[in-house]
Structure 1
Amino acid sequence: MSGGLESLYPFLYSSPGDPSAADRVLTEVASSTRAKVAEIDRLRLRVAGEQAEEIAACARAMTAAFAAGGRLFSFGNGGSSTDAQAVAAWFMTPDRSGTGLPAVALTADVAVLTALSNDVSFEVVFARQLAASGRPGDIAFGLSTSGGSANVLAGLAAARRIGMITVGLAGGDGGRMAEPGTVDHLFVMPSSSVHRIQEAQTTVYQVLGELVRDALRAS
């Protein structure tokens, strides 16, 4: 374990007996932090510059869906599972007007996830839930840093068959999620770093939430 950490943060393991090592470590940490902050700032600005029109179009589609009584279903794996729950909470939590929007994270029910994984297959854990609960006009919101998660893609495919609006967040080049006909509204974070991808995805879904709420208040 320490070998792995040393390869990531070599400055923490250099010259352990040197009294000035602590100062060098703090300098390295500060420099590393500044570099990471600058990197995510560049990525967010790039996403905003290249995908602003699609974000606005997606927000309009989601606004119309919520206004017509639609619900949002979010899903993903690992860190994206946590983000899926954050997406649901972001839309569901009442804003300053006291209004929340109907949203459910398909990753939250451990009993359903383990039952489907054990009795059928892990690939269908989202598709089967959407088949049971989704309706035409609802929103399927899938997150994958690679764009290639099989169960997320299966969930998006099931949602499209139902007639749901599909929104996908991916990283890199978008992976299989970027293939034509896979998702209605796709947002790709062009980075190879999982950390930066997830940070930028957070910004995208928070902006979508703000735009949707603003539009609903104005209607």
Structure 2
Amino acid sequence: MSGIYPFLTPAGDAARDARESAARELVRSTAAKAVESLELRLRVLGTLGPALAACAAAMATAFRAGGTLFAFGNGGSSTDAQAVAQVFRTPDRDGGRPWPALPAISLTGDAALLTALANDVAFDVVFARQLAALGRPGDVAMALSTSGGAVNVLRGLEQARRTGMVTVGFAGSGGGRMAEERLADHLFVVPSSSVHRVQEAQTTACHVLRELVRAEPAEA
């Protein structure tokens, strides 16, 4: 603790009082953020529930036809994309009902390919080039962004559209260019300007989406 918060290290009564005050503030701040995060996620799910169900139906149709999910994003959204792909391709059981692994790939998972494209071509096309090579009509492209304005994410969605893929977008605040240019068939905008809150709500929405896909009939 002292290495992270050196002002909390004991050094007399004044320091002890400062330490206790700082500890109370940390608890208060953490609790407030937890409440804010929960309220936002519940509000998002309440507002976007029907849209998530429609998206899940489209994704389930794609999977039944042999389609693959391609998820992508930058920074924290990159790790979210990897988590989404992992969740969909992990088999499970729900009350004895088998939940098969579904084909899902994170476009940020191959460091060699990602850095080669960024170095040899341009970082703006690291997702578009992969989708052009791997994507097929009927596959699903899921773009995650907190701003909705990352150029490489937008170009990925543009390429997915040209390929004939189902496009799913997650963005924050007002949705940015992702919303303005209507690049996603299914767009989910989290009404917050906080990167942390946006990512938390997006993560919850993605897990709900996975459960809704799982609830869809196994056959058309």
Aligned pairs (5 A) from 1:53-202:
53-96=50-93, 97=98, 99-202=100-203
Mark the CA change 1:60 to 1:119 in structure 2 (over 3 Å): closer, same or farther.
Answer: same
Letter in 1 for 2:65: A
How many Å apart are 1:203 and its aligned residue? 0.4
Q: What is the alpha-carbon distance in structure 2 between the residues aligned to residue 207 and residue 22 of structure 1? A: 41
| C-alpha distance after superposition, 1:66-116 (max 9, x if no partner) | 011110000000000000100100101111125110000000001111111
Give the aligned partner of residue 50 of structure 1.
47
How many Å apart are 1:30 and its aligned residue? 1.3
Q: For the Cα contact (< 8 Å) 1:40–1:199, is it kept in 2?
A: yes
TM-score by length of 1: 0.90
| C-alpha distance after superposition, 1:136-171 (max 9, x if no partner) | 000000001000000000000000000000000000
Q: What is the alpha-carbon distance in structure 2 between the residues aligned to residue 70 and residue 119 of structure 1? A: 29
Stretches of structure 2 lacking an aligned partner (at least 5 in a row): none
Between the two proteins, the alignment pairs up a number of residues equal to 210
Q: Is structure 2 residue 25 aligned with structure 1 residue 28?
A: yes
Stretches of structure 1 lacking an aligned partner (at least 5 in a row): none
TM-score by length of 2: 0.90
Give the aligned partner of residue 212 of structure 2.
211
How many Å apart are 1:49 and its aligned residue? 2.0
Q: What is the alpha-carbon distance in structure 1 between the residues aligned to residue 33 and residue 110 of structure 2? A: 34
Q: Secondary structure at the match of 1:23?
A: helix
Q: What is the alpha-carbon distance in structure 2 between the residues aligned to residue 110 and residue 216 of structure 1? A: 36
User: What value does the CA root-mean-square deviation take over the aligned residues?
Assistant: 2.0
Percent identical: 61
Letter in 2 for 1:185: H
Q: What is the alpha-carbon distance in structure 2 between the residues aligned to residue 218 and residue 37 of structure 1? A: 40
Q: What is the alpha-carbon distance in structure 1 between the residues aligned to residue 173 and residue 185 of structure 2? A: 18
Q: For the Cα contact (< 8 Å) 2:64–2:219, is it kept in 1?
A: no
Q: For the Cα contact (< 8 Å) 2:72–2:107, is it kept in 1?
A: yes
Q: For the Cα contact (< 8 Å) 1:67–1:216, is it kept in 2?
A: no
Q: Secondary structure at the match of 1:33?
A: helix
How many Å apart are 1:19 and its aligned residue? 1.6
How many Å apart are 1:134 and its aligned residue? 0.2
Q: For the Cα contact (< 8 Å) 2:99–2:214, is it kept in 1?
A: no
